[in-house]
Structure 1
Amino acid sequence: MSANPRSTTVRGWLRCALLDLPFGCPCGACAIIEAGVAEGEGGSGFVMLFMCDGKEPDDQEVSLGMDTHCLVTASQGTAYGCVRAAVLSGNVLRVSLEPSALPALGLEDTEVEAVLEARAEDIARFREVLPRVLAYGREDARPDRVEV
C-alpha cells in the first residue's frame, strides 16, 4: 500500500465485459478483456477501466512494456502494470496505484475507493473478470494483492 494518506472516493456504476474489439487487426482474433467502474451509469464522470489483451503478448508489446494489464481513466490517461492492489469487499472496491503512474493517469491519489452501485450479478461478473485482467502478462507487473 502507498504511504500517501490521501485517497479518492467515488460512488459509481459497474461495467464489466469480455469485449471483442479487433481494432483493425487483420486476423480478426484479437480481443480485449475489460472490467470497469464509472461514476455515472452511462460511463461518465470518474472512470477506471482495467484492461488486458485476450491473447499472449507479442514481441512488440514486450519491447514497449505493454505486456501487462493497463488502467485507463476518463481523460484517456493510460498506464501499464500500475495496479499494486485491488480489494473488493462487499460493494466497495479499493485500488492502490503505483505513484509513478499518477501523472499518466491524470490522478492525484494512489488510493481509490469506489462504492459500486450495481446489481449483485454484475458485481459477481466483475469478481470473475478483474482477477483475470490483473493476472495478465509478466509476473513482475502484477499486483501484490488481488482479493475480489
Structure 2
Amino acid sequence: MPGQLLARGVARHLRSYDFVSVQELAPAKGLRVDVMGLGPKGEVWIVECKSSRADFTTDQKWQGYLDWCDRYFWAVDSDFPTDLLPDDTGLIFADAYGAEIIRMGPEAKLAPARRKVLVQKIARHAAIRAQAAQDPGFISAF
C-alpha cells in the first residue's frame, strides 16, 4: 500500500509536465513497472516507487527497465535513505498527494520501434482500466 500511495503522488505530479501515466504496466515478460509516464512528444518515463530500504534491496529487476524508457526515476518519501539509490538515475520525492523531481534521470532515447510498442501497450492498458472502472462487471484479460 505505501508504494501505491507514492505512485498516486507521482502520477499527479507527472500531469504538471503534461504526462499521462499508467500504473502496474508490464513492458515485457517478467517486468512490471510501478508508473509509466507518456509525455506530449511521446517520451516514456518509468518511475519505480520504493517505500523502504528492504523494498529497494529486494528489487532485482530494476536495471531491466532501463531499456524500456527514455528516463528512469526512483520515487521515495523524504525519509528514505537516498544514498542507496544509484546516482545515474532520477530521483523523485513523493507522498500520496504529490511529488517533486529532485534529480532528472539521464536521457537514453528509445528506438522508434520500441517506442511504438510501448505507446500501444500504454494505450491498451489505459483503455482496459477505463472500461473496468465504467463497468464493474467487466473482466479484464490482464
> What TM-score do the two structures reach when normalised by structure 2?
0.31
Determine which structure has the larger strand proportion and give its number.
Answer: 1
Higher relative contact order (CA 8 A, sep 6+): 1
Determine which structure has the larger helix proportion and give its number.
Answer: 2
> What TM-score do the two structures reach when normalised by structure 1?
0.30
